[in-house]
Structure 1
Amino acid sequence: MPDLWLPGAERFPLSDPAPTDTQYAPRAIWHITWDKNASADKPVDLVPFNRLVQYFTGGGKSAAPHLLWDPFTGRTAQFYPASSRAKSVVDAPGGTRTNRTGRVCLQIETLFFPHCRVVGKTYATVRDTPAKGLDKILAWTRSWGVPDAWPMGSPSWKADRSQSTWETKGGHYGHSHVPENQHNDPGPMPNWPGTTPKPKPVPPLFPGRTAFGAGKSNESVLLLGQQLVRRGYGRHYRMGPSRQWGEADRLNVADFQRAQGWIGPDADGYPGPETWRRLFS
């Protein structure tokens, strides 16, 4: 059985553990403590770790997570075993019990607020921090079956909540993803295997104007037609795009060019470098 307590974490067990709803897939929820308000112009020193430990074992028990993590030192404190629910998300009546959703529902509070200052340096997001100890936390979440993926996408400062995704997919969630909640933390998080954004595809090089026109048949004509269809400019095709240039290709290109605000010779239906660039951007 995986470890109920993160190896190496300081233990501060609270006296009211409770079971999770194990019919749901395992997950982890990420937060930031956001205990100060700062700005790029007015950074504020990071709050001491021990002060947050005192809070979660005292007056803040009703909002205690599983883990408190300091990404600058790697220090961690744990308040509930993995098999228990924690209390860092709102659990409104009805729907899923958001504090309990999952075979495990591991809640991690990162000691952080935007534009905190540590040893004279200011950090805008958790992604900017050294993220010390993150590898150990991820090894622990994986041991409980939590996939590395973000089912609702890597967190930003914008809320993106889906009840159906929450109920059906395991993985990592930001507080900004949890149904019934209003907080939009943790903001951008470090990338880890399985969550690194895919590189944007490189658009194909423009093959030159001579690739298009009456009698032309080549892969560039087909590629052009396929992209026109993807962008919603394929209404003149009867059978779909092909390698053979035809009047339907010209009319579809002209539709796209007019959509750019071009008129006259600039919307003649024959692709030039700028038409190609915009079509594939």
Structure 2
Amino acid sequence: MTRFMYDGVTPRKIPDGASMVAGYADGHYANLREMAARFPHAIRVSIAVRYTTKAQVLDVELGDATPDQAVLWCTHTMASTPNKQLTVYCNLSMWPAVRAAFRAVGVTEPNYWVAHYDGVASIPAGAIAKQYKNTPGYDESVVADYWPGVDHAFALESEPADSELYPGASTSHWYETAYPGDPMHVNTIVWHSTESTGLPGYAGGSVAPTLTAVPNWSAERLDWFQHFPFDRSARALVHHRTQIGTNTLNVAQVEIVGTCAPDTHAHWDQAGIRHLYMPELPPWAVDGLTAFARWAHDAHGVPLASGLTWNSYPASYGAANGVRMSTAQWQEFRGHCGHQHVPENDHGDPGLFPIASVLFEGDVPRSDAPAAADSAVPAVVARSHPNS
């Protein structure tokens, strides 16, 4: 089946009824949200013009990314996504230079979307799409009947698969429609504490995590609320698109309703307010978190490992808290970390979190879990590079 796709900087100029569109994830013409609002049911393709931005396609042309940066985008920015699910856009004359950059370092080539305005709707051998027509206000491309990394993501967004929803989680506070995120392959869990006694409103979802665990005191269990598909970016971290990604760097985020702050814990205790205190979680709460960690491992391959030091609050607060990762460490990390470990952020939650108990089954450590939560172990748990 031959498909046609439209892209442009002004979504309203693209023809009504377009079933496949592409927009920009960054730069002066970033327009993905506008594109989603105008074409909510179309397959939407995200394009990055900077090699440090996560997207489905990287734009390689004068003024945007270079051929060498395309290699870096595939091997660093999009490191957890196989190169055969990534795409580089370039014009026909630059295509040989892009291919040569990958071959020179022995890195698997991505898919290619090439531009050649000859008015012929045919895809050259070795490409996945061809931009063949330039019209005032938009460009038109012919696209293969299956585009790896694009069609899978669209199916995920349109109707999240069972594997994208934590079993038993409520979707009564679902924010994906209002705040569509970036597709990703999650390899890291970031744990937070809400510093509240109930499910937050998250400013209507604008600062929401992937899931929230709420204590159910009468049943002695955690009740789960899911806000975004597991493999879509959430919004609970400070995130500067001009710097390294945080929300969008293959992380699922879990907020636990409770506190990590000793002063808050003491105040609530004195007031008779039941609450979860991160350093002293009851066994049923730990069991609930362990069950989630095991599901993330079994269903999505998130390592049951941390290898980090978890500071107690308030020592865990601040950009220079002694445990916060560098951007290089953050890019390489896989497993379980806390908000206190994420670069570009200064929050200290979830404080002295019982990560060893969460990642262990009873008293028996799992084979891929760390030896102890507070041991002096390396700050990075790395795995082999999927794109080399």
Give the TM-score band, short-chain normalised.
0.5 to 0.7
2:198 to 33, 36, 48: 48
2:236 to 80, 84, 88: 88
What residue number does 1:100 align with?
248
* Higher radius of gyration, 1 or 2: 1
User: Aligned equivalents of 1:198 and 1:100: distance in 2?
Assistant: 26
Show CA shifts across 1:160-211 (max 9, x none).
22222211120111101111011111111122322451898xxxxxxxxxxx
Show CA shifts across 1:82-106 (max 9, x none).
111000001013332100112xx11
User: Aligned equivalents of 1:127 and 1:185: distance in 2?
Assistant: 11
What residue number does 1:154 align with?
310
If the length of structure 2 is used for normalisation, what is the TM-score? 0.42
Aligned residues: 179
**Structure 1 residue 2 displacement after superposition:** 7.0
User: Aligned equivalents of 1:9 and 1:21: distance in 2?
Assistant: 20
User: Aligned equivalents of 1:74 and 1:180: distance in 2?
Assistant: 30
Q: Which amino acid aligns with 1:13?
A: W
Q: Which amino acid aligns with 1:48?
A: G
| Structure 2 counterpart SS, 1:137 | helix
Contact 1:65 1:107 in 2 (8 A): yes
1:30 aligns with 2:194: no
| Structure 1 counterpart SS, 2:330 | helix
User: Aligned equivalents of 2:294 and 2:174: distance in 1?
Assistant: 21
2:329 to 153, 165, 168: 165
User: Aligned equivalents of 1:18 and 1:92: distance in 2?
Assistant: 15
How do 1:57-136 residues align onto structure 2 when only pairs under 5 Å count? Answer: 59-71=203-215, 73-102=221-250, 105-113=251-259, 114=261, 115=265, 116-117=268-269, 120=272, 125-130=277-282, 131=285, 132-136=287-291
Gaps of 5+ in 1: 36-46, 201-281
| Structure 2 counterpart SS, 1:108 | strand
| Structure 1 counterpart SS, 2:168 | coil
Contact 1:125 1:189 in 2 (8 A): no
Give the fraction of aligned pairs with identical amino acids, expressed as a percent.
Answer: 27
2:341 to 177, 196, 205: 177
**Structure 1 residue 7 displacement after superposition:** 0.3
Contact 1:67 1:79 in 2 (8 A): yes
Larger fraction in strand: 2
If the length of structure 1 is used for normalisation, what is the TM-score? 0.56
**Structure 1 residue 145 displacement after superposition:** 1.4
User: Aligned equivalents of 2:296 and 2:371: distance in 1?
Assistant: 18
Contact 1:123 1:129 in 2 (8 A): no
| Structure 1 counterpart SS, 2:312 | coil
1:138 aligns with 2:297: no
User: Aligned equivalents of 2:275 and 2:227: distance in 1?
Assistant: 27
How do 1:177-196 residues align onto structure 2 when only pairs under 5 Å count? Answer: 177-190=341-354, 191=357, 192-193=359-360, 194-195=369-370
User: Aligned equivalents of 1:153 and 1:70: distance in 2?
Assistant: 25
1:80 to 1:124, Cα distance in 2 relative to 1, 3 A: closer
